[in-house]
Amino acid sequence: MIHSGERAVGGVTTGLIGPGEHVTWEAKHLGVRQRLESRITEFERPRRFCDEQVRGAFAWFRHEHRFEAAGPGVTRITDVFEYAAPLGPLGWLAERLFLTRYMRRQLETRNRHLKAALEGDGWREFLTGAAAG
């Protein structure tokens, strides 16, 4: 996610992540450098996994990743992303005014990059942490 400078800076930073493990992400969102730590709380390989915020800017979040066969050699990925902004009523207002739209665009952008990587040689980077070449 080059546009946000997102990178793993703690926990599992290369290769695949598994049940109970965590990763700390650093990125710039909405003009602010942020750190977010999430932990894998549910893991049913190869069908789904969930990560939940341990520390970060949200009051809470839960992100479920679902995978299902959609034909020969085709996998459908579905994201279920639930969250609450911090700051009570101000956070609720931010969600309605811009945050929900912003988060949807972030997921869509991530999924476009993920799709391109998985359909090309970029998937090797997910296993090794090194750039494909």
Average pLDDT, rounded, for the chain: 89
Rounded Cα distance between 115 and 31, Å, is 27
Is 79 in contact with 61 (CB distance < 8 Å)? no
Is 91 in contact with 84 (CB distance < 8 Å)? yes
Give the containing element (helix H, strand E) for 28: strand 22-29
Question: Is residue 95 pLDDT above 90, yes or no?
Answer: yes
Question: Is residue 132 pLDDT above 60, yes or no?
Answer: no
Tell me the domain boundaries of the chain. 2-127
Give the pLDDT score at 31. Answer: 86
Which is higher by pLDDT, 93 or 114?
A: 93
CATH of 2-127, one of 3.40.50, 1.25.40, 3.30.530, 3.90.930: 3.30.530
Distant-in-sequence, close-in-space partners of 50: CB < 8 Å, separation ≥ 6: 40, 41, 42, 43, 62, 63, 64, 65
